Amino acid sequence: MDRDPVCGMIAKEEFKYEFKGKIFYFCSNLCKNEFKNSPDKYLKHRHRSYESEEIKERKIAYFSMEIGIDSSIPTYSGGLGILAGDFIKSCADLKVPLVAVTLLYEKGYFNQKLDAQGNQQELPVQWNREDFLKPLPNKVGIKVENRDIFIGAWQYNVLGISSYSIPIIFLDTDLEENSEYDRGLNDFLYGGNQWYRLLQEIVLGIGGVRMLQSLGYTGIKKYHMNEGHAAFLTLELLKEMKNNKEAELNFEAVRELCVFTTHTPVPAGHDQFPYDLVNNALRRFLPLDVLKMLGGEEQLNMTFLALNLSKYINGVAKKHGEVSRSMFPEYSIESITNGVHSSTWVCESFKKLYDKYIPDWKNDSFSLRYALSIPGDNIWKAHQEAKNKLIDYVNEKTGKEMDYKTLTIGFARRAASYKRADLIFSDIDRLIKIANDAGKIQFIFSGKAHPQDGMGKDLIKKIIAASKWLENKIKVVYLENYDKELAKLLVSGVDLWLNTPRKPQEASGTSGMKAAHNGVPSLSILDGWWIEGCIEDITGWSIGTPQNMESNDQQDASSLYDKLEFAIIPTFYVGREYWINIMRHAIAINASFFNTHRMALQYVLNAYD
């Protein structure tokens, strides 16, 4: 039988399609439709990514607990997953020979509903994996307790700009041969208790390595752990080498193979499992003293496991590298600052603008520096188009009658307490006074709280309460169900992107980078990427000083109000030319650097060599 010209998988008789007198066969309706929409793309470059020689050429296996590639595949919760998806897209554009591994979450990360008081309700997301992913025939097993957990796989191909594609392997335990409990292991992302989470991470790390072998990925030279969740893969590699040829466990050889990116600047954020649980699950996979040597005395700490068995270790911004080195002084830790995938995050009106003035920008994110040459009127027009779209959306959803001309400030991210979404409301009277004296402002908020994060949920209620106090004075809305699509509407449609994390807890942050890609400047605490990206009055504004290491809520709020009152609002309303110049520099200085093309190149040169 033929191969599917879209994905390269075995084609089926039933999915045939005639084009220019020739019959083509496909593996599914999905590929058939994709071909029907743009046959030329596929005829020019036939995909071979499933063929064995192509599989053997893949050199890097990228493991991530969540990957956010599209809002219709809801297997991500926030920044970590979106970053993974953006990174994979850039690798596809740049033809980095990578294969990605993650878990398939059948119920996705939840749909958020908010009542009038802001109480969050979590509804399962209905999605049908067959619509997006292709089943693979392979199965592998892992011994857990006294049974086997069987794991199947689905594949999604991320197509790069020149038709190179990167496979994402979604691991799936919802198989008939598994118990009810094991079948449910891929229901939820970050759901369930510690035991559930432990088994998920075993499936990801150990199951993932076995699945890659079963699929024929024999040329892998680096295993990249995107955060510690996947660190069980190191144990599988250790054991496998011992089974194959070595007399002893060869830690050095495994270290050669592994790359670890940490994303968490606070110790409490690292996954830990009691050794009792680990022993119950994995029995005598490896001797307990070896596990303790690698994962820490008290509990198995996934970060220690990854640190001890990786040759290249990095944080996700320069400051985060520093913070990580002071948390783990015994390890050599580098940093590679995060980015976002440029063509994914640029809105339609700016796409048109860049296509006109910077023709190669999609291929070459660095060329966005040339945005300095774009005439101000055109930048303003493109922004106004994006803003109108957002305000229309807000007004339709909330009936708040937001204004198209008012300075609109956006804040959207996971509702976690360290992000301090309510900092802007710490002195309501001052805020009202600023809006009266300096110029009108309005706010758009969005973000989901983790289902088990009570403080995060309270934060949403506080914002909604503040919006009621401010009724008729300052318009404030909280949009439900923040996801990738809404994020794009927000980062491109607001005038100013606000970020107020408590230092030093923002490892990097990426939404401000998305805003910069649409010419939207940031007003942010100097933490994470903003330390590298902020040039005061040129790319945006800082809150607080670089000197203070820990945040003080009161000082930060006062600095925030000062910046709004004396710098931002007057510039927006009175110094429009100057404002547009800041927009231009946000693109030229920040979008040209804080993108995943640059980031992927740094991983290739520094981590994967």
The residues that touch ligand PLP, with contacts defined as CB under 6 A, are 78-79, 82, 413, 482-484, 487, 509-511, 514
| For ligand PLP, the closer CB: 448 or 585 | 448
- Minimal CA–CA distance to 368: which of 590, 212, 579? 590
| For ligand PLP, the closer CB: 32 or 341 | 341
Whole-number minimum distance, CB 510 to ligand PLP, in Å? 4
Q: How many other C-beta atoms are found inside a 10 Å radius of the C-beta of residue 319?
A: 25
Name the CA radius of gyration of the chain, rounded: 25
Whole-number minimum distance, CB 478 to ligand PLP, in Å? 15
Whole-number minimum distance, CB 487 to ligand PLP, in Å? 3
Whole-number minimum distance, CB 226 to ligand PLP, in Å? 14
Whole-number minimum distance, CB 30 to ligand PLP, in Å? 24
| For ligand PLP, the closer CB: 349 or 505 | 505
Question: Which strand (E) or helix (H) includes residue 83?
Answer: helix 79-94
∠ Cα 420 426 432 (to 5°): 125
Cβ neighbours for 474, distance < 8 A, ≥ 6 positions apart: 431, 432, 435, 441, 442, 443
Backbone angles phi, psi at 180, to 5 degrees: -55, -45
Burial class of 465 by CB neighbour count within 10 A (0 to 12, 13 to 18, 19+): middle
Whole-number minimum distance, CB 304 to ligand PLP, in Å? 25
As given in the structure block, the two tokens for residue 452 are 């088990």
| For ligand PLP, the closer CB: 71 or 138 | 71
Strands 496-499 and 522-525: parallel
Whether 336 and 606 have beta carbons less than 8 Å apart is answered as yes
Whether 560 and 500 have beta carbons less than 8 Å apart is answered as yes
| For ligand PLP, the closer CB: 85 or 205 | 85
Whether 71 and 62 have beta carbons less than 8 Å apart is answered as no
Whole-number minimum distance, CB 459 to ligand PLP, in Å? 14
Whether 458 and 421 have beta carbons less than 8 Å apart is answered as no
Whole-number minimum distance, CB 596 to ligand PLP, in Å? 12
* Length reported for the chain: 609
| For ligand PLP, the closer CB: 173 or 446 | 446
Whole-number minimum distance, CB 83 to ligand PLP, in Å? 8
Whole-number minimum distance, CB 529 to ligand PLP, in Å? 9
| For ligand PLP, the closer CB: 3 or 319 | 319
Strands laid side by side in the 441-446 sheet: 475-479, 441-446, 407-412, 496-499, 522-525, 540-543
3-class state of residue 453 by DSSP: coil
| For ligand PLP, the closer CB: 84 or 466 | 84
| For ligand PLP, the closer CB: 152 or 321 | 321
Strands 312-315 and 134-144: unpaired
Which residues is 48 bridged to in the sheet?
none
| For ligand PLP, the closer CB: 208 or 504 | 504
C-alpha 26/C-alpha 147 separation (Å) is: 38
| For ligand PLP, the closer CB: 170 or 497 | 497
Whole-number minimum distance, CB 514 to ligand PLP, in Å? 6
- Minimal CA–CA distance to 305: which of 269, 265, 258, 264? 258
C-alpha 324/C-alpha 499 separation (Å) is: 22
∠ Cα 454 457 462 (to 5°): 125
| For ligand PLP, the closer CB: 85 or 439 | 85
Which residues is 112 bridged to in the sheet?
122
Whole-number minimum distance, CB 336 to ligand PLP, in Å? 16
C-alpha 225/C-alpha 306 separation (Å) is: 8
C-alpha 526/C-alpha 548 separation (Å) is: 10
